Each structure stands twice: as structure tokens, then as C-alpha cells.
Amino acid sequence: LPKQNERVAIVTGGTRGMGFETARHLASLGMHVIIAGNEREEGALAVRRINEESSEGEAEFIFVDLTSLKSVRNFVQMFRDRALPLHVLINNAGTMLVPEKRTEDGFEFHFCLNYLSHFLLTNLLLDLLKKSGKNGRSSRIINMASATHYAGEINLEDLNKRTIYSSHAAYSQSKLALVLFTYYLQEQLMAGGFAVTVNAVDPGMVDTALYNNLWTLAQMLKKPVASVLFR
């Protein structure tokens, strides 16, 4: 990738796993990277590691709890108070196959963390992304999707999966919603002539904490086949 000096990125879930590696790489290209997450100590450690390695860019941590829409709004306000531009938004944070539970706003956990919070975050920052994008050098929105969206179904009468709960179905629904949002937003931005691109990315099998909720047999099988699965 070319150098990205004086450009600003936000990476949700950037304290570990794919988010950390993404933030680390963007900083090495000269970007000012905002790591958004809900683990303050983990965030401080991630920032320290990145800043010790990178002589080009820099990283900082700002708290956000993506299971709370109020927290998302507070994060956006804190970012706006800095009067920074925004060139890249990477909606990376997510959860997978957790037992049934609700957020403080009453939403199903996967649906809120994987989709609703990122939908809100993107829309609250969209004007900054439009302003920062230039012809030939667009601003970018990256939504971390999953091939499981092909198995997803969206029931508008039961988005919170109250009738029958399945963690697999809830996860797939949240990723399908994110993909549909990606396509719709890209269409709207193209129609408006804005220099902002929106992409959904399936990272494939990556050995991160996201797989901690696999059922017992799958956990047992994970180690012996990791060298094959997790390239």
C-alpha cells in the first residue's frame, strides 16, 4: 500500500486479532489510527506496541462499548471534538456464537454489536468521510463481513430472535444485515457523486478469540487442524 501520511483512520476492535494487525499496518504507513474498543488496559497495551514499532504514524485508544448505542454516540462526539478529518473507517469489531442475551437497549447481542452499532457509527461519521474524500483518493469504509451471511435470513418481524434463538442464525443475520447495508450505502454514495467507497470483506478463517465460543468438539479439533485452516 502507498504511504498514508496525515490521514486518519478509525478501527473498531483494534486492540487484538485482525483489528490490531490492521491498526498496526495502517500506522506503519503513516496514518493516525484511532483504536476504538471497550478494554482500556488492552487498548493501552496495543497503542504502546504500535507506537514503539512505528516511526511513521501513531495510534491512540478511545473507549467505546459497541453494545451500547449511547456509548457509540459518546465516542463520535469525542472524536468530533478533536476536529480531525476521517479518511478510513474499518468496522472490524464483532462477536460470534454467544449464548442468548440482550444489550442495555434491548437488542439481541449479535445484531447490536455486529450490525446496529456499526450502522450508527458509520452514519454519524459519514459527513466527515464525505468531506475528507477527494477524487482519485476516496475515503474508505470497510465492513468486516463473513461468508455465513449466505446462510442468513432477516425476519423483520423478529430481528431480536425472540421466537426461536440460535446463535448461528443470530450471527448469520447480523452479517447479512451488514452486507446489505454495505451495498445500499455504496449505491447511495455513488448516486450522490461522493468520493467514498464502501466494501464488505470476508477475511476467511483467522485464528482469533472470535472462535472461543465454538462447541466443545470443534474446540478439540481446532488445534490439530489449525495449521491447515488458519493460513
Residues serving a catalytic function are 171
The torsion region of residue 83 among left (phi > 0), alpha (psi -120 to 50) and beta comes to: left
Measured in Å, how far apart are the chain's first and last C-alpha atoms?
A: 21
> Where do we find the cell 487442524?
225
Q: Which grid coordinates are listed for 41?
A: 488496559
Length of the chain measured in residues? 231
Tell me which residue of 11, 40, 125, 32 sits closest to 76, measured CA to CA.
Answer: 125
Query: Which secondary-structure segment (H or E) carries 201?
Result: strand 196-201
| CA dist list (Å): 15 to 22, 38, 46, 54, 214 | 10, 9, 5, 16, 22
Helix, coil or strand: residue 75: helix
